[in-house]
Chains A and B, each alone.
Chain A
Amino acid sequence: AQSVTQLDSQVPVFEEAPVELRCNYSSSVSVYLFWYVQYPNQGLQLLLKYLSGSTLVKGINGFEAEFNKSQTSFHLRKPSVHISDTAEYFCAVSVSDTGNQFYFGTGTSLTVIP
């Protein structure tokens, strides 16, 4: 089975500062990678995904992530955060050849401080 590690359970950051949320996965085979965001009392929605091609992926709300195959990482970044970015962020993986099981990390709670 896959494992997805989000090392930082909580990340406080001041408004307009940059942020990086870290994600590492265990698979050595081809994977699809996702970042989802969960705002308070809501379901999850997709921020961005990596399927193939360019290792730098841009998503909604100014977020981007970089796929690093050698380090099995998919870190999420934003150059300048806003109060409205306060939310829970989940990294997720599916294995491309088996495809239909998804593995989520434990989540990172991002708090933007005014």
Chain B
Amino acid sequence: EAQVTQNPRYLITVTGKKLTVTCSQNMNHEYMSWYRQDPGLGLRQIYYSMNVEVTDKGDVPEGYKVSRKEKRNFPLILESPSPNQTSLYFCASSLSAWVGGSDTQYFGPGTRLTVL
């Protein structure tokens, strides 16, 4: 089944404790992206990747890191989480990165992160 998977689905952690949220897609998609969803703010793009070893900042990259060492995986890293990073996080992927953003994005089920 074609899908985007995220792990963990739920995570409660404490300020300053490094964490990684994994994202994997099995559709051979070039483009991958991370979003955070907050009440009243909708979805905001954190980072995106056009292909392996090619990443770029979205609208709200502060406090986050990403890497794209393999085409299928795009982990989101929080080196020193803070309470303002408590949010619902979505990973998404689309087939091609070189069509000016016209491709449909496929979203994972979300990761609910709470930072105490």
Q: Are B97 and A100 in contact (CB under 8 A)?
A: yes
A5 CA / B63 CA spacing, docked (Å): 26
At the interface, yes or no: A99 with Cβ under 8 Å from chain B?
yes
B-chain residues with CB within 8 Å of residue A36 when the two chains form the complex: 107
Q: Which of A14-22, A39-47, A63-71, A76-84 contacts B (4 or more CB under 8 A)?
A: A39-47
Q: Are A46 and B42 in contact (CB under 8 A)?
A: no
At the interface, yes or no: B33 with Cβ under 8 Å from chain A?
yes
Where the two chains meet, the residues of B that have a C-beta atom closer than 8 Å to any C-beta of A are 4, 31, 33, 35, 40-45, 48, 50, 56, 58-59, 90, 92, 97, 99-102, 104-105, 107-110
Q: Are A43 and B90 in contact (CB under 8 A)?
A: yes
- Render A31-70 as a binary contact track against B, CB cut-off 8 A, 1 for contact: 0101010000011111001010000000000000000000
Task: Look across to chain A and name the residue whose beta carbon is closest to the beta carbon of B3.
Answer: A43
Number of chain A residues whose Cβ lies closer than 8 Å to a Cβ of chain B: 30
At the interface, yes or no: A95 with Cβ under 8 Å from chain B?
yes
A-chain residues with CB within 8 Å of residue B56 when the two chains form the complex: 100
B68 to chain A, nearest CB (A): 13
A-chain residues with CB within 8 Å of residue B108 when the two chains form the complex: 43
A102 CA / B103 CA spacing, docked (Å): 11
Q: Are B102 and A43 in contact (CB under 8 A)?
A: no
A105 CA / B33 CA spacing, docked (Å): 17
